Amino acid sequence: MAPDEIDNVDKGIIYLLQQDARKRTVADIGEQVGVSSSTVTNRIDRLEEQGVIKGYHTIVDYTKAGLGHHLLVTATVPIPEREERVDEIMEISGVVSVRELLSNNANLSLELIGHSQDDIEESLIELDSRGVDIESVEIMKQEQAQPYNHFGQEFTDEDDGV
């Protein structure tokens, strides 16, 4: 297998991790995709090294966690600087995600969290001081997310009713 090639075993592993990485053991995954637990461990390590698996994240309800200000910010930065600015923006207090968009204007989407309006104001001022032009700010009420729910499912022995 070529170093960057994703085969059906990899797809099955990714599918199962997306369903519930926290509760899955490598033995369970191996059983579901038909390989040994050591193979699963090696495959996961390789997928992480290649950047296919970028991390394992807890999804937080920020309101229930006492952070009542949850905003979506659309912003613009110069296109040649967009990639380098993302790392800088992620360092700003309250910024929890940044998405690069392929457009001239409104080419970044930011998720911003704060305890108070003052926290949000400070984060927006910091963004402005770093040359980020704020296009719009919207209050987030609720978010639902899921992985692509068919990626690799056919390469597992898992029942549909998990």
* Mean pLDDT of the 122-151 span: 87
Q: Are residues 41 and 77 in the same domain?
A: no
Report H helices in 50-133: 82-90, 117-129
Distance CA 72, CA 11 (A): 32
Q: Are residues 90 and 122 in the same domain?
A: yes
pLDDT digits (tens, 9 = 90+) for 7-20: 999 999 999 998 88
Closest CA to 113 of 58, 62, 57, 60: 62
Residues whose CB is less than 8 angstroms from the CB of residue 75 and which lie 6 or more positions away in sequence, other chains included: 106, 107, 108, 109, 110, 127, 132, 133, 134, 135
Are 100 and 76 in contact, with CB atoms under 8 Å apart? no
- Give the pLDDT band of residue 162 (cuts 50, 70, 90): very low
- Give the pLDDT band of residue 161 (cuts 50, 70, 90): very low
Q: What is the number of structural domains in the chain?
A: 2
- Identify whether 109 is part of a domain: yes
Q: Residue 37 belongs to what domain range?
A: 8-57
What predicted TM-score, i.e. pTM, was given to this entire model? Answer: 0.72
Give CA separation, 39 vs 18, 31, 36, 46, 100, in Å: 18, 11, 5, 10, 35
pLDDT digits (tens, 9 = 90+) for 81-131: 888 889 999 999 999 999 999 988 899 999 999 999 999 999 999 999 999
